[in-house]
Amino acid sequence: MISRRHFVNSGLASAAVLSGETAAQSSVSLPENFWATATPVIQAGPPMNFDRAYQILAEEGLDGLILCSPTNIFHATGYVDRVARMHDTPTSFVIISKDPKRRPALVMNQFLYFYSYSDCGLTSPIDVFVFTSPDRSQEKLRANPPFIFENAGFGPLRGFEQARVSANNRVLGSGDLSPNASESLGRAIAHLGLANGRVGIDHELIRAEVGQKSGAISFVNADRTMRRIRLIKSPREIQLMRLAATLNADAAIAAVNSIRAGVSHRELRAMYSIECAKRGLTPVMMQIDTILAETSAERLVEGTAFAIDCLSHGAGYHGDYGRTVFVGEPRKQMKTVTDAIAVGWDAVRERLRPGLRYSDIKRIGVEAIRKSGFTLDIAFTPHSVGLSHTDEPGSVRESGYFVKDDLILEENMVISVDLPVRQSGMCGSAHLEDLSLITRTGAVQINDIANRTLVI
């Protein structure tokens, strides 16, 4: 059982990370933190593979994109729109032209630009269009004055406070202050020459906000477009994926190493969350013994084996890691199961390269375990991983409902091959999952692969 002291000490370490303290300041030994390494990568430029984006826009006959989901805004700019996540509704917009010579445009509330965007230290060139709210005292539609924190005069402005003021002054220096999001969007669309274009959008709110303000502009759903763009990672994205995958695996292993027989699923999930927080990651889910439900009150039993599937993200980039954990000495039957998984994965791993189809992966794995004399039902399910767990385009459907497609591997994809055993009555469960970067000639795993099973 995990003691209260263990939880308190782990919690202190997490609190130190979240407060920005270094190990020396907090006297707590902390592992590598995602944001410490990722920040200069993100500040240097947007994660998006823009060459890929221009290629996809040309293939789909689109003149540009107007995006407002936090995921897509971050992908195109490096800005984490936390207000949109908190409110669960769009607050900002990014517009991309098919013309590489035209810089993207950002449309957002002036105060949020002052209070949030300016803190990020982003350096990539972007044209900013800000809005406040309508001045109701005027007959003609005019914007209310911009709002920033008033200087109380108790002392000099701190560094980030001065930086906020300077950033706000720069963006207002263009004289482009709109009374609402709709007017600001119209100006940005005209600026990028998209007023009569065919434009992809990721939310119906955009259609309503733009309305008839932009000539003969037409809109199409861009969900699949964005998934196609995200499929092939930029060098920055590969850096972020390597980091997220490595730290996620480290967090999962550390959580498992902290528990013993008798511990509940809730306690193990709590330890995984703590280990993620120490590393600057956000936990998404931990499947334990094939159970996803956080309400599960099951406990770990001596002599059994259980599968873990651990998903977390850093800045939206996901790590996805699966292993079989033996509670005590492995039983012979379950050791046979994990051996079978390893045979299948080795066969697949050696064949991963551009040109291979998802369906080939399953065929290779199934044939390998059959030839080795195993009769287990192992999934062999590939999926691209990035800004979501299954970050890939589905098959083309008019409704937009996602149905998995038989994709062909390409260089700079990051994929997982899920290897859970889909059977019960085994006195346990088993799984193996690593993330692989597809290279020009093969694939490399980007998380810890030293141990294919763990023992507690």
First to last CA, the chain: 13
CA-to-CA distance for 66 and 55, rounded, in angstroms?
Answer: 17
The larger pLDDT score, comparing residue 387 to residue 139, is at: 387
Domain ranges in the chain are 50-231, 235-455
- Residue 228, number of CB atoms within 10 A of its CB: 18
Q: Determine contact, residues 339/347, Cβ cutoff 8 Å.
A: no
Instruction: Tell me the pLDDT tens digit for each residue of 265-312.
Output: 999 999 999 999 999 999 999 999 999 999 998 999 999 999 999 999
Per-residue pLDDT band for 22 (boundaries 50, 70, 90) equals: very low
- pLDDT of the residue at 27: 55
Q: Angle, nearest 10°, between helix axes 50-59 and 223-231? A: 140
Lowest-confidence pick of 11-15, 103-107, 166-170, 190-194:
11-15
- pLDDT of the residue at 28: 64
- pLDDT of the residue at 213: 60
Whether residue 102 is predicted with pLDDT greater than 70 in this model: the reply is: yes
The domain covering 50-231 belongs, at the CATH homologous superfamily level, to Creatinase/prolidase N-terminal domain (3.40.350.10)
Mean pLDDT over 369-385 rounds to: 95
- Residue 139, number of CB atoms within 10 A of its CB: 6
Second CATH level (architecture) for the domain 235-455: Alpha-Beta Complex (3.90)
Instruction: Tell me the pLDDT tens digit for each residue of 337-346.
Output: 999 999 999 9
> What is the layout of strands, in order, in the sheet containing 381-384?
381-384, 414-418, 435-438, 443-445
- CA angle (288 as vertex; 413, 450 as ends), nearest 5: 55
Closest to 348 in 3D by CA, of 383, 390, 382: 382
Lowest-confidence pick of 332-341, 390-399, 446-455:
390-399
Instruction: Tell me the pLDDT tens digit for each residue of 186-239.
Output: 999 999 999 999 999 999 999 999 975 656 899 999 999 999 999 999 999 999
Per-residue pLDDT band for 2 (boundaries 50, 70, 90) equals: very low
- pLDDT of the residue at 430: 96
